[in-house]
Structure 1
Amino acid sequence: MAKRGYHHGNLREALIASALTLIEEKGPTGFTLSEAAKLAGVTPAAVYRHFSGREDLIAEVARLGYEIFAELMERAFAGGQPSALSSFEATGRAYLAFARRHPGHYVAMFESGISIQRSPELHAVARRGLGVLDRAAGQLAAQIPEDRRPPPQMFSAHIWAMSHGVVELFARGSPGMRSPFPPEDLLETGIGIYLRGLGLLPPDR
């Protein structure tokens, strides 16, 4: 594996880039801090100038991922206006697109075991991104009669679980998991079935 190397002043960025590569190749627990240092072209001791350990490095990868995620989700939500339904569907597609375009960040965020409570900064940006889905669900749920309306957080959690399942099984090339349908179609039809069950879409004819 070739060394990335770094220029004076961007050691932190070089280590984050190395961690992203290793997370994608080996998973969040499949590499050591020494491997990240070697890939960045520095000694293991140099890592501790910026990170207290591997978990600290992975947490920073997750935080940066949530920043990208939040921007994508906010853009999708705004782009779907003025319809609450189109905004809601757009956030689901944005989730899937993020997982495909930023697999290292995605794994650090959702599969590394790093809690979003690890730092105030991580928690704030995670809630910013996930809060977009809550807002989209809240707008759509408001159209359901109150006696049949699920809590918006439950609504968004269901869609999050569905999106995450499609990503894990079919969108990131999981070994042995293939679908005759594109992941986007699986997510769209799954959301459609869910929304029809809530009475937000008319039944298929």
Structure 2
Amino acid sequence: EQGWAAIIDGVGGTGVVTIGAVLGMAAHLEEKGCGMIDMAGLAQKGGSVFTHVRIARSPDDIHAIRVSAGKADLVLGCDLVVSGAQKVLAAVREGHTIFLANTAEIMPGEFTRSADFSLPVERLKKAISTAAGDKAHFFDATRTATALFGSSLGANMFMLGFAFQHGGLPLSAEAVEKAIELNGQAVAMNVSA
């Protein structure tokens, strides 16, 4: 048993890696084992980013960090296009994996090459629903964060809060809030999210 496993996906520069760091610090504060790996490739700003996180009772319980096929307990899909990637869907186990997907339409680079480009939102949602079944949840976190905080910057942290409220995190609220405070960025907004 390697403990809890999650994939956080999204677009570079939007806080995906920060969410992984917050989870890691919260696990550390609870004296749990944690490992994470960030896969950003050349996408520091604007490209696909994947953070794999494992949390277990102790570091000795973690043997691999990368989440393999059917082993994700949570997918925090901060960008619908990235969430629909085969490498994310393969980690999902129907009826087990909680899959939270932000439905905000963030145009990828393809949009700059074709003004007629439109996101295949329904196709992506169907692929995610097929993989996760009734554990798939869709909502526009970007719109909600903008309405609540006056900025879309809190969208991904809002999704983390949504995951917590749906029993998707093996961490206490106190540890997550303390980790957000230690991160030191937009603390009031991120704790509220």
| Both structures adopt the same fold (TM-score exceeding 0.5) | no
Higher strand share: 2
Higher RCO (CA < 8 A, seq sep 6+):
2
Higher helix share: 1
Q: Choose 1 or 2 for highest CA Rg.
A: 1
- TM-score normalized by the length of structure 2: 0.27
